[in-house]
Chain A
Amino acid sequence: MDDDIRDELDELLLDHQEQESGLSEPQRQRLNDLLRAHPEARRQFAQAQALDAALHLQQSSGLGADVVDFPMPKQPTIFRRVAWIGIAAAVTFLLGIGIGSLLGPGAGDSALAGDSEPMDDGVALLTCALDVEWIGNEPPVAGTPLSPGRLQFESGLVHLEFYSGAQLIVEGPADLDLVTSNQAICRLGKLRAKVPEVARGFSVQSHHFELVDLGTEFGLDISDGGASEVLVFDGEVEIYPPDGKRAPDSRQNLLGGSGLTWAASGETGSIAPQAQNFPSFEDVEKRSQDASQGQLDHWQTWNSSVADDSRVVAHFDFEGDGGRLVNRSNSQNHGTIVGGERTTGRWPGKGALEFKRPGDRVRIDIPGEYDQLTLSTWLRMDAQTGRFQSLILTDGYEIGHIHWQITPNGALQLGTRLPEGRKSRGKNYGPKSTFGPRRIGSWSFVCTVYDRQAGEVSHFFNGREISRQPMVIDQAVRIGQGDIGNWSAPIEGAQPVRNFVGRIDEMTIWKAALSSEEILSIYRQTRP
């Protein structure tokens, strides 16, 4: 096909986009004739159209991300019923207004691709959760921010730090609504609040009253029978009727050392505060330390069992010191630490490596070719860098090599180098996103399963499946020499920067495809 035809086709395609009613009939016929006559024109057409589609999707990518990030209802059997509601919602979304408004007129009119700043609607941090039995299918994770919404649990103790500075410990059974960074609604539960000067005005509403704090420490007990108590340990609070008006003439001030009770009927009385009836912040701290020790002991038991598992090719527990990263599996192919600093892992007393500088890495050598491979790691990502962050990258990218990393968008991804003769060099498997801004700084368990037998690649986050895709080509994979947390690319001179930023305190490679149940069970045995 000569250049004239190529140019003519390009021009026709541009005209088609530009003209209000598309191509004129003669133009349209000419285009169709060109496509019929020249196979190269058909290729050019397909490439140009795919590029237009990609440009269009790029334009609406802010919204597009929402569609593809829709949380998949992949949950254990106990949530089956809930999962179905999820499916219904997902389908409604896919079939309904979702796509329509996504790709319809106006989408992305003003914003250019990638210009939007990441937003966080969090109002409080769930600092710790002790023996908590959550109600609801999306239990919050300790160490992560909470959005406005309901917090419900059967038993246990949680510690919340509101963004305003107010701190709360709540003992279950409890049912709360977080409204803003300085406001909560309490339907049920026993709570103690510590409100520093900066968070003055922190308020809690219940069906009997609204409490506005003036900088203090107070306790609140709302029973499921309908009776409630407010006890001021220190400082001063204002009590209003629960109508939200805060009328000055209905205000009642309670000073430190005093308390109010409401019977279920609404009848009020006074009471002397007994601070010891409420869990203290010191208790929570102490219990949290004890729990950590218990979890660490539990992990140690699990850790020694893994080392004996014959399916394990490599198990790095990041314990010990010196420049060697010990592989506890029978193969004993130890890693060599380059640069990364020894630090603390999931619990005090647990070893980890900190990866921070562009050179930090662990050199590893995992020989062999595998039909099935499970990669798992406990990591704490400390920054989203807008570039790739390596988990395991093979030195080269030869046929069958794997690249396990986090994409610039924060998605977990497994890439495999495909045999020659394919359009792309490699195929990347993985979800659209994994590490949102909220996951920064908290420990997560990620796991990827390459299963040639099933012809699938799946990814897991904190024990839950987040993606499952068919393999595009049936091939064995291998690692050989490579890096944990970085990339020794086979390129002369300057290297692409792909270092991981954060901590890793465990990494295991199995020559088997672990089941979803097994992955969930590992997560449960090893989570902080």
Chain B
Amino acid sequence: MSSEPQDPAETLVTSLTESQNRLYGYIYSLLGDHHRAADVLQESNLVLWRKAAEFRPGADFIPWAFAIARFQVMAHLRDKSRDRCILDPDLIELVGEEVEQECGELEELQVALRVCLTKLPEKSRGLIDSRYFAGRSIKQLAEEVQKTATAIKVALMRIRRGLRDCVQREMKNAQP
């Protein structure tokens, strides 16, 4: 059915829309900063849109989009100060493949994460909620619960590792 002529612009918009989360994940993973990742995502969308003519409908959109996004990340690192950018330029190439693999399945990961969040013990869930969803810092959390920042940090590291393992497990075993 794809043999029918399809407006390339429509195809591109659909692909672009459907891959926003994966692209965001990819860019964030390389940059390590949410604000900058949002900026670079916008720039990448613009470039992808401009290069629409280069995209062959039917080709796999994601590798093409990731390649362009990686280029935008590098350009961003070149143009802007490197503050808060976590990786050296050579490492972007080096970890690129791993990041591509993880973020290529970001949507499956999001589903798994939702499951894993429900499995967390109440206290751990509360900590993740406060830190990541309500945006409190470790310092603030430590003050609120009257514990040391180190204690909170250790707890967070443990929960994050647990979530990571759980997510990997869920993705392997999920019964869609």
Residue numbers of A with Cβ under 8 A of B are 7, 10-11, 14, 16, 18, 21-23, 28, 31-32, 35-36, 42-43, 45-59, 64, 67-68, 70, 72-74, 80, 83-84, 87, 90-91, 94-96, 99-100, 102-105, 108-110, 112-113, 397, 403, 413, 415, 423-426, 428, 449, 451, 454-456, 458, 467-470, 489, 496, 513-517
CB B118 to nearest CB in A, in angstroms, measures 10
How many residues of chain B have a CB within 8 Å of chain A?
82
Secondary structure of the B side of the interface? Answer: helix
Which of A22, A91, A403 is in CB contact (< 8 Å) with B83? A22
B86 within 8 A of A: yes
Q: A52–B156 Cα gap in the complex (Å)?
A: 13
CB A399 to nearest CB in B, in angstroms, measures 13
Residues of A within 8 A of B143 (CB): none
B121 within 8 A of A: no
Which of A16, A94, A423 is in CB contact (< 8 Å) with B101? A423
Q: A451–B33 Cα gap in the complex (Å)?
A: 39
8 pairs, CB–CB < 8 Å, chain A vs chain B? A35-B94, A53-B103, A58-B132, A84-B9, A94-B13, A94-B49, A99-B42, A103-B38
Which of A53, A72, A108, A496 is in CB contact (< 8 Å) with B28? A53
Which of B3, B7, B88, B102 is in CB contact (< 8 Å) with A50? B102
**In the complex, residue of chain B having the shortest beta-carbon distance to the beta carbon of A51:** B164
Contacting A at CB under 8 A, from B29-76, are 29-30, 32-35, 37-39, 41-42, 45-46, 49, 58-61
Residues of B within 8 A of A74 (CB): 10, 14
* A470–B86 touching, CB < 8 Å: no
* A47–B83 touching, CB < 8 Å: no
**From A55, A110, A455, A496, residue with most partner B Cβ within 10 Å:** A55
* B86–A72 touching, CB < 8 Å: no
* B176–A415 touching, CB < 8 Å: yes
B151 within 8 A of A: no
Known contacts A46-B101, A515-B4; is-contact A55 B132 (Cβ 8 Å): yes
CB A388 to nearest CB in B, in angstroms, measures 9
Contacting A at CB under 8 A, from B89-132, are 91, 94-95, 98-99, 101-103, 105-110, 113-114, 117, 128-129, 132
Q: A67–B108 Cα gap in the complex (Å)?
A: 18
Q: A23–B35 Cα gap in the complex (Å)?
A: 16
Residue numbers of B with Cβ under 8 A of A are 1-4, 7, 9-11, 13-14, 16-18, 20-21, 24-25, 28-30, 32-35, 37-39, 41-42, 45-46, 49, 58-61, 83-88, 91, 94-95, 98-99, 101-103, 105-110, 113-114, 117, 128-129, 132-135, 137-138, 153, 156-157, 160-161, 163-164, 167-168, 171-176
Q: A23–B33 Cα gap in the complex (Å)?
A: 12
Known contacts A45-B98, A99-B41; is-contact A424 B172 (Cβ 8 Å): yes
**In the complex, residue of chain A having the shortest beta-carbon distance to the beta carbon of B9:** A87
Residues of A within 8 A of B11 (CB): 468
* B33–A50 touching, CB < 8 Å: no
**In the complex, residue of chain B having the shortest beta-carbon distance to the beta carbon of A56:** B34
Residues of A within 8 A of B94 (CB): 35-36, 42
**From A31, A84, A103, A397, residue with most partner B Cβ within 10 Å:** A103
**From B32, B107, B128, B133, residue with most partner A Cβ within 10 Å:** B133
Q: A273–B37 Cα gap in the complex (Å)?
A: 67
* B45–A451 touching, CB < 8 Å: no
Which of A28, A35, A48 is in CB contact (< 8 Å) with B164? A48
* B174–A64 touching, CB < 8 Å: no
* B49–A425 touching, CB < 8 Å: no
Q: A7–B157 Cα gap in the complex (Å)?
A: 8
Q: A467–B42 Cα gap in the complex (Å)?
A: 22
* A50–B106 touching, CB < 8 Å: yes
**In the complex, residue of chain B having the shortest beta-carbon distance to the beta carbon of A451:** B1
Which of B13, B35, B88, B172 is in CB contact (< 8 Å) with A105? B35
* B91–A72 touching, CB < 8 Å: no
Chain A to chain B: the 6 pairs with minimum beta-carbon distance, closest first: A415-B176, A454-B2, A49-B29, A53-B25, A46-B98, A22-B84
